[in-house]
Structure 1
């Protein structure tokens, strides 16, 4: 009996917005790598995100370890995009004003 060794592709898919997701889930590469870098094991990641398959998490971690510089560049770009979007949203919708309105509404209901 011989074992057929076949290289498998990483279970990563890029959507139309350029966001990399793991397997057939909505869990992003950003999420998996962030918790992995915090010391979370693959099993714990699957526990936190049950839509993930354990084999996909291990393959994603292996991909990250083999392509660390490229993944880090991608993650930095995603962080910059998130900051830009946050700034745009804060400029359009004053978060302090919203908080004050919600607190006032809550106080009215309590009275």
Structure 2
């Protein structure tokens, strides 16, 4: 996870470098037209539990990338998660594509933790026989 935090910091540095490249090629016309060349920070925020969410929403990075890896387009993901801005989705997916190894490691770590939690819950509350127990309670009520 520390490596992902490092990459998030580096991403902001690269955005500033890109502005320099634009200026070197004489794209001052963009500034004259009122188009801002200010870099936009990557819209990811880490919550208390260590999960990354799309900034300003409750949607996790895991959810967005799961949909993307299952073949959903950015526009389809935006339809699945109405609070998300299309521009934020493009930024997040672009970040993923540039940093695939680190982000995949983060996703794998989260998946292992989720499976361990699921096993712990199923051990405490075994799913076997739930239907029968519910039917029995219903009949006795």
* Superposed pair shares fold, TM > 0.5: yes
Query: 1:15 corresponds to which residue?
Result: 47
- Which TM-score applies when normalising by structure 2? 0.70
Matched, 1:91 2:123: yes
Aligned length: 108
Q: Deviations over 1:51-89 (max 9, x none)?
A: 111111111101101111110000000000001000100
Q: Tell me how far 1:105 sits from its aligned partner.
A: 4.5
Unmatched segments (≥5 aa) in structure 2: 1-28
- From 99, 104, 111, the equivalent of 1:67 is 99
Q: Tell me how far 1:38 sits from its aligned partner.
A: 1.4
Query: 1:6 corresponds to which residue?
Result: 38
Unmatched segments (≥5 aa) in structure 1: none
Q: Tell me how far 1:5 sits from its aligned partner.
A: 2.7
Q: Tell me how far 1:24 sits from its aligned partner.
A: 1.0
Query: 2:75 corresponds to which residue?
Result: 43
- Which TM-score applies when normalising by structure 1? 0.87
